[in-house]
Structure 1
Amino acid sequence: MQPSMQQGNSAPLKRAMSTRHLVMISLGGAIGTGLFLGSGEVIAQTGPIGAILSYFLGGVIAYMVMLCLGELAVHMPVSGSFGAYAKQYIGPGTGYTVTWLYWLTWSVTLGTEFTAAALLMQEWFPHVSMWLWTLIFGVFVFSLNMISTRWFAESEFWLALVKVITVVAFILLGLLAIFGAVSYQGFESAPLFTNLTAQGWFPEGLFPIFATMLIVNFAFSGTELIGVAAGETKDPAKNVPKAINTAILRLLVFFVGTIIVISALLPHQAAGLGAEGVSSSPFVTVFNHIGIPYAEDIIRFVIITALLSAANSGLFAASRMMWALSDQKQLPAVFSKVNARGIPYVAVIVTMIGAMPGLLSEQFAPETIFKNLLGIAAFTMVVVWMSICLSQYNFRRQWYKQGKTAQDLGFAAPLFPIVPILGFIFCFITCVSMVFDPEMRPGFIGCMIFIGLCYVSYYMLYHKKA
């Protein structure tokens, strides 16, 4: 890698983020509806111990992928990171495809985030049109991304902080209820952890642990935003590895802690069932049973914050991918134009337009569209993770061939080649699990067609030029 290339890609974008911003962007990307609403579903399908194992394994997979990403991001801190790494260390066609896949991941989820947030606002204000809320949220997130990178990072820090405080409060209050320090509806004495194995260790068998891995992996997605933001981070060699270790450790504590509290206080079959909307969240049920007033309103507010935080990060990530494609001459030059504040404004505007199909999910078969969009987002994310592992594996082999050692790297992922190989294999198994879920299958087929079209378009349009 020539030094000029390491710096060149990032030159027009401002380096305005610190470790504090990186950690919160990563936590903000990962703590979302998957935890507040989806965690109960995983517990119901796998049983308490199964869910704890699922989330622990999900965290280990995410950590392996992020270690690979950390090594690459410190060596080559560019915006549009994993697309650039795949181009350099797998092949230009794969780099092009991975960049488009990651853009697709966030652009399809953007519209659904706005729609879901608007639906929640309608529960408070039933007479206000859902489209008005969608417009308000869209303008809000768009503005945060257009003002400056610093503004984006700062807003994401505070939006993510709301979620982090809620999760910490939930775990602490839950533990007090578990040990009998606060009263809990339905229990005369301290429930302790008897619920975890009340119906055996694996009441639903072992298979659901693997079947739910796509949901669990998607819950950890967002951690890779550290790599996207590396090109706009001050002193990436110091801040990126620090942010990766801090973020993953906290996520493991938050996710596994949450699952333990829910499983200890609720029968596992009830965790994912119940009323529609926010009231079905296990967070609401536990807060209600402890006696927290306005539990449903509190969690509704937190989930709206979570959705806006995810949309904020998503618009940032997807626009940087589009900027990177343009910077590499694989999209017209207009997409890499930046304003005086270092924002790739054309890429941000076009990504916002790309979110429109997601907004239709409320009008036409919302359940079907939402489930498929979620499946597409989860699948494309895991494919991107596979590309990170393979890029790092190939990079390190090239590094050794040049006669250099791991000590010569700014940050070296430990246990090479075990970490990238295991990370790749686990992600591949997760992708294949999608084929066995009839509801996810259309999304899987759609993704395979999209990947095929990306390769075809690359070789037809750019390969000859290259």
Structure 2
Amino acid sequence: MSAQPTLAKAGGNPVQPGNPQPSDGLQAGLKNRHLSMIAIGGVIGAGLFVGSSGGIAAAGPAILLSYTLVGALVVFVMRMLGEMAAANPTSGSFSAYADRALGRWAGFSIGWLYWFFWVVVLAVEATAGAKILEGWIPAVPQWGWALIVMVVLTATNLVSVSSYGEFEFWFAGIKVVAIGGFVVIGLLAVFGVLPGSDNPGTGFAHLTDSGGFFPHGPGAILTGVLMVVFSFMGSEIVTLAAGESSDPQRAVTKATNSVIWRIGVFYLGSIFVVLTLLPWNDKSIVKDGSYVAALNSIGIPHAGQIMNVIVLTAVLSCLNSGLYTASRMAFSLGQRGDAPKSFAVTNKQGVPTAAILSSVAFGFVAVFFNYKWPDTVFAFLLNSSGAVALFVWLVICFTQLRMRGIILREAPEKLIVKMWLFPYLTWATAAMITFVIVYMAFDDAAREQVLLSLLVAAVVVGIAFIREKLRRDREKAEQSA
């Protein structure tokens, strides 16, 4: 058996550079500019804009170290994923690689858990966007806006992959320009050189002038980690999307190599600006949100509405990418026989219609649960999917440990991207992720989330093992017949 077909077992058929259409039915409709912006925008979620204030309140200026720790984990995980994706780009990404390296049960389990995570995110983001839109046009009820947003983005995903890429290009572009502008303007105000700024321009004084850099002690860094870790989910989307581009290896390599500066500028840079413009315990950070409070301190008029527009863009971007990601994972599961075969069927435009519609249908149901039973059914869905990001990262670590040997044995020329200090840094990353999961189990605020997520994961893994046993029994029966 040649190296190429063996590597193709990782899920779907690989796409070679210059090949206009993947042989698995998907079309190479994503251009380089689409993938570049998907890679950049993938690390800027709505959680960065709306969730950072809680982390700042919990850890003070030390939240910068929390973001640095989680950012390092994401960089390492993306490096591992980039190594595997550059060798064999596929719509199933880490789920397909886990299938090959760890066993069918692993690919099945992490694929369905990841799908579950994103369809719940669809409901969360649709509701968040609907709240903003209802504030602008109250004549349309919140549920109506959620429905409109979901229908519009479903339609764009159904048309073609290029329409998804085009929408995401502009959504992500707005986020990138907004964050970049915020960092530049904020730094000018920090050093007192921004014309007309209302901020006193105290330099770095606010990092230590309100109880020091560790106002709640060094232990608050870990509390901050738990609060910010989920805002990083989405960086891996580019490895799924690369399978629908004309040159996936180049796209994956570029995205993997650029993840360090993306996290450094967009996360650490913007949070650093907030903490230097205002004391960490300024009440406006929690009341108005960290970014709105920072803009208000500069004296930018209508800061709240400006930020609402940016947050809405981030929400729509997350919805767009969430629907795309969930559908492509469902498509890959269908290809491997781990989901209904209809999920792996594409139309003339190379779009997996059934995979998209099934994903958005669950999203619609989750939106209904959010309105009907927000504190019971929807809270369960939210908590039971909350730690999936960490599970995905952990599986990527263990998968890469096995896949490195497989790639070297079967197609060493495809090892274009390499994980640093292999295998030591891979093991260290896995240990850190495991530590965070265990720490969550002992944290009062995060315990329910991690325990429910573990429960759902255990159920899915149990189903995977039962399916495998039934499959083996069926094969034995066929052989003995």
The alignment's TM-score, normalised by the length of structure 2, stands at 0.89
* 1:396 counterpart residue number: 404
* 1:448 counterpart residue number: 454
Identity fraction in percent: 34
**2:181 pairs with 1:166:** no
Measure how far apart 1:192 and its partner are: 0.7
**2:362 pairs with 1:354:** yes
Q: Deviations for 1:59-115, whole angstroms, at most 9, x for unmatched residues?
A: 111010001001100111111111111111111111100101110110111011101
On the 8 A contact 2:3/2:411 being kept in 1, the answer is: no
* 1:458 counterpart residue number: 464
1:283 to 291, 301, 304: 291
Q: Distance in 1 between matches of 2:256 and 2:36?
A: 7
On the 8 A contact 1:315/1:352 being kept in 2, the answer is: yes
Q: Describe the SS at the equivalent of 2:140.
A: coil
Q: Distance in 1 between matches of 2:411 and 2:89?
A: 20
Q: Deviations for 1:231-265, whole angstroms, at most 9, x for unmatched residues?
A: 21222222211112224422221111111111011
Q: Distance in 2 between matches of 1:108 and 1:408?
A: 35
Measure how far apart 1:230 and its partner are: 2.5
> Structure 2 matches for 1:211-290, cutoff 5 A?
211-270=223-282, 273-275=285-287, 280-290=288-298
369 and 179 in structure 1: CA distance in 2 versus 1, 3 angstrom threshold: farther
Measure how far apart 1:179 and its partner are: 0.9
On the 8 A contact 2:36/2:251 being kept in 1, the answer is: no
Measure how far apart 1:357 and its partner are: 4.2
299 and 314 in structure 1: CA distance in 2 versus 1, 3 angstrom threshold: same
* 1:17 counterpart residue number: 30
Q: Distance in 2 between matches of 1:463 and 1:97?
A: 15
Q: In the alignment, residue 51 of structure 2 is paired with which amino acid? A: G
Measure how far apart 1:448 and its partner are: 1.7
**2:208 pairs with 1:197:** yes
Q: Describe the SS at the equivalent of 2:281.
A: helix
* 1:41 counterpart residue number: 54
Q: Distance in 1 between matches of 2:346 and 2:293?
A: 47
* 1:8 counterpart residue number: 13
Alignment RMSD, CA only? Answer: 2.3
Q: Deviations for 1:377-424, whole angstroms, at most 9, x for unmatched residues?
A: 441011111111111111123455x3986x762322221112321221
On the 8 A contact 2:45/2:234 being kept in 1, the answer is: no
Q: In the alignment, residue 380 of structure 1 is paired with which amino acid? A: V
Q: Describe the SS at the equivalent of 2:470.
A: coil
Q: Which moved more, 1:363-372 or 1:416-425?
A: 363-372
2:129 to 108, 117, 128: 117
> Structure 2 matches for 1:53-452, cutoff 5 A?
53-182=65-194, 183-185=196-198, 187=200, 190-198=201-209, 199-270=211-282, 273-275=285-287, 280-360=288-368, 362-364=370-372, 366=374, 375-399=383-407, 402=409, 409-452=415-458
Measure how far apart 1:462 and its partner are: 4.1
Q: In the alignment, residue 43 of structure 1 is paired with which amino acid? A: I
64 and 79 in structure 1: CA distance in 2 versus 1, 3 angstrom threshold: same
Q: In the alignment, residue 453 of structure 1 is paired with which amino acid? A: V
Measure how far apart 1:287 and its partner are: 1.6
Q: Distance in 1 between matches of 2:437 and 2:149?
A: 32
Q: In the alignment, residue 64 of structure 2 is paired with which amino acid? A: I
Q: Describe the SS at the equivalent of 1:268.
A: coil
370 and 54 in structure 1: CA distance in 2 versus 1, 3 angstrom threshold: farther
Q: Distance in 1 between matches of 2:357 and 2:225?
A: 34
* 2:42 counterpart residue number: 29
Instruction: Show structure 1 runs of 5+ residues with no match.
Output: none
Q: In the alignment, residue 233 of structure 1 is paired with which amino acid? A: S
Q: Distance in 2 between matches of 1:109 and 1:438?
A: 23
Q: Distance in 2 between matches of 1:76 and 1:309?
A: 27
Q: In the alignment, residue 13 of structure 2 is paired with which amino acid? A: G
167 and 370 in structure 1: CA distance in 2 versus 1, 3 angstrom threshold: farther
Measure how far apart 1:434 and its partner are: 2.1
Measure how far apart 1:174 and its partner are: 0.7
Q: Deviations for 1:319-358, whole angstroms, at most 9, x for unmatched residues?
A: 1111111101122211111110111100000000111343
On the 8 A contact 1:44/1:272 being kept in 2, the answer is: no
Q: Distance in 2 between matches of 1:167 and 1:186?
A: 19
Q: Describe the SS at the equivalent of 1:37.
A: helix
55 and 374 in structure 1: CA distance in 2 versus 1, 3 angstrom threshold: farther
* 2:19 counterpart residue number: none
308 and 368 in structure 1: CA distance in 2 versus 1, 3 angstrom threshold: farther
Q: Describe the SS at the equivalent of 2:175.
A: helix
253 and 360 in structure 1: CA distance in 2 versus 1, 3 angstrom threshold: same
377 and 21 in structure 1: CA distance in 2 versus 1, 3 angstrom threshold: farther
Q: Describe the SS at the equivalent of 1:145.
A: helix
On the 8 A contact 2:86/2:414 being kept in 1, the answer is: no
Q: Which moved more, 1:93-102 or 1:11-20?
A: 11-20
On the 8 A contact 2:97/2:399 being kept in 1, the answer is: yes
Q: Deviations for 1:406-449, whole angstroms, at most 9, x for unmatched residues?
A: x7623222211123212212221222232133343333222222
Measure how far apart 1:376 and its partner are: 4.1
Q: In the alignment, residue 444 of structure 2 is paired with which amino acid? A: P
Q: Distance in 1 between matches of 2:39 and 2:383?
A: 21
On the 8 A contact 1:372/1:439 being kept in 2, the answer is: no
346 and 170 in structure 1: CA distance in 2 versus 1, 3 angstrom threshold: same
Q: Distance in 1 between matches of 2:286 and 2:460?
A: 42
